Structure 1
Amino acid sequence: MLVSPQVMQFWEDKAKTYGPGLAGALFGGAWWFWIDACSASGTKVPFVQYLPGFVATLALIMINAIRREELESHDPFDEGVFCRSRFWLFLSYVVSFASIVGSVAVLLSQYALKPGVENPWPGVAGLCQVTLILASALLFFVSRTPSSESNYGGYGAF
């Protein structure tokens, strides 16, 4: 086992309480990085450089549109819910990695490989933004609490 029992006990006790809030803070920090880079840049940032952040936000929504219970057990009579859930999760990870590749491509093509660029901060901030958004998506996915007594379709009220 790679994780100590104390860490596992802390995760089981506190993750459901503090995980969604921390995920929201990561998401807000990610967009703050990007807004700061756009406002601090001396030039106008083209719209193409905004796309990796939007795609990462779409991946966050896609990842969290799946209930974890659909991924845990396979029922042979579930009419394909297990396969559809796994395929949707795979597709959302593909979108996530596409946003990372897009932000690295923007960083390399617009800031790292161009001679005479005086401020590479928008490229670095774009990569930080995408990384933090995807970390937020995964943290929220593993820490959200399904609740059978809530009115939110099986998800806990946050």
Structure 2
Amino acid sequence: MVMDDNSNVFICKGCFSFGGKGRLLGVYTAGALFALAWWIFVDGLCTSESGLAGFEDWAGGIATTLGMIVISLIDKEALRGTDYDDHIPWRARLFLFLGFAMMAGGLAGSVAVLVVKYTSHMVEPPIPYLGVTDVIQTCLLMASAAILWVSQQERDSYYTL
């Protein structure tokens, strides 16, 4: 099966179109969600008690951010395998899997920190706000990565010749 430039993976080809500005709107939305995610986490750090936050609180956001960077750096044309080298699609799909695994690991890690550290009475008195901000941060980072991925699929009239 040969895929041309107009073929799309989605059934609804015009669902993500926003009148020629879809790519720009998606990139701005993804950036706003990224900034909001880290702002919420820093708010959780500022309102937590001193000495309460450790590296385990930072690990989920860092892993999710690194996964987002890996996913965003992958060339979408390399996934289709239209190049002359047969190993390029395999490598691109491997890095795509690793990026999604890092993001899922970050989310699972932040949920685990919330459950183990903040709700199982390891902290007296239990104040789960920092753990909740960890989970919210990773969810917003994953939403940002998804919006950025979809918006990079959008063909913008500004970028086409």
TM-score, reference length from structure 1: 0.80
Deviations 1:15-38 (A, max 9, x none): 212000000000000001100001
Q: Is 2:57 the partner of 1:49?
A: yes
CA contact (8 A) 1:111 1:117 kept: no
| Counterpart position of 2:6 | none
| Counterpart position of 1:108 | 115
Shift of 1:49: 1.2
Looking at structure 2, the residues matched to 16 and 9 of structure 1 have their Cα atoms a distance apart, in angstroms, of 9
CA root-mean-square deviation: 2.8
Looking at structure 2, the residues matched to 26 and 80 of structure 1 have their Cα atoms a distance apart, in angstroms, of 34
Which secondary structure does the structure 2 equivalent of 1:43 belong to? Answer: coil
Deviations 1:31-70 (A, max 9, x none): 0110000101123311221111111110111111101111
**Structure 1 residues without counterparts, runs of 5 or longer:** 151-155
TM-score, reference length from structure 2: 0.79
| Counterpart position of 1:153 | none
Percent identity of the aligned residues? 30
Deviations 1:132-154 (A, max 9, x none): 1111112112212689xx9xxxx
Looking at structure 1, the residues matched to 13 and 146 of structure 2 have their Cα atoms a distance apart, in angstroms, of 22
Q: Which amino acid aligns with 1:108?
A: V
**Structure 2 residues without counterparts, runs of 5 or longer:** 1-9
Shift of 1:5: 6.4
